[in-house]
Amino acid sequence: MSVGSAPDFAVEIHDLTHVFDDPAAGGDVTALRDITLHVSEGEFVSLLGPSGCGKSTILNLIAGFLLPTRGVVKVQGKAVIGPGPDRGVCFQEAALFPWLCILDNVLFGPRAQKRDVSPEQAVDLLQRLGLAAFRAHYPHQLSGGMKQRAAIARLLINDPPILLMDEPFAALDALTRLQVQDHLLNIHEEFRRTVVFVTHDIDEAVYTSDRIVMMSARPGRIVDEIIVDEPRPRRREFITSAHFIDYKKAALSMLSHEA
């Protein structure tokens, strides 16, 4: 990059404020105030903060499901005016179609868009996620972790440069959660996608992220960030290291102050 040139950002948020009309609260509620955030191409950024601080709202604004009350959201240099194929979204629930087998679930997006994606490409992706042997199974026949991996495969087959993930592992048991985290990190390493990741789990944020964006209680503001300056690919030994404990203490201290 030449001296003085602008960095390449996958996501740019400038002076963002978002207000909801909430009759139950007696009027308008300010969910986010004065948010400015840049996410570089290929970066893994987690949003961490108290419940109700607007983390998921930021994700929905980047996805184009919501439009800001004030401010600008850009993806790859263009203002967001609605959802688009350049952003893939993964929610807490896998939301697979129960009447389709796993292979057909993965291929649903390309077929709907009339894109030339072969079943072999989908099987290859399922293989990388440890699901190729279950491609003919239906969602009710899979465990929670397997369903979530299938949902990630369905996301990746559409080849979005940006992955938006809203607590996708929150409903999983502890062991399965660790396994799926590692699958996600392997995908991040191999495909070099930009990831914006919402989580309440400090360990998860530290283990997965390049940067943790710390948010205040409502109205949500960005109050600090933690740079996780650790090599990739990440190894599980990292969570027993002194560095990991230091990152975790820093995040706990910031959350305690903002709760």
For the stretch 28-75, pLDDT in tens is 889 999 999 999 999 999 999 998 899 999 999 999 999 999 999 999
**136: in domain:** no
Q: Tell me: pLDDT of 257 over 80.
A: no
The reply to whether 153 falls in a domain is no
Give the structural domain span for 250.
Answer: 9-86+160-258
CATH number, position 54: 3.40.50.300
Distance in angstroms (rounded) separating the CA atoms of residues 107 and 155:
10
- Per-residue pLDDT of 112-132, as tens digits, reads 888 888 889 999 889 888 899
Question: Is 92 within the bounds of a domain?
Answer: no
In a domain, 113, yes or no: no
Question: Could you tell me if residue 99 is inside a domain?
Answer: no
Q: What is the pLDDT of residue 6?
A: 47
Residue 57 contacts residue 35 (beta carbons within 8 Å) = no
Count how many domains the chain has: 1
Query: CB burial class (10 A; 0-12, 13-18, 19+) of residue 116?
Result: exposed
Percent of the chain with pLDDT over 70: 96
Task: Yes or no: say if 122 and 103 are a contact pair by the CB < 8 Å rule.
Answer: yes
Residue 36 lies in a domain: yes
- Residue 2 placed within a domain: no
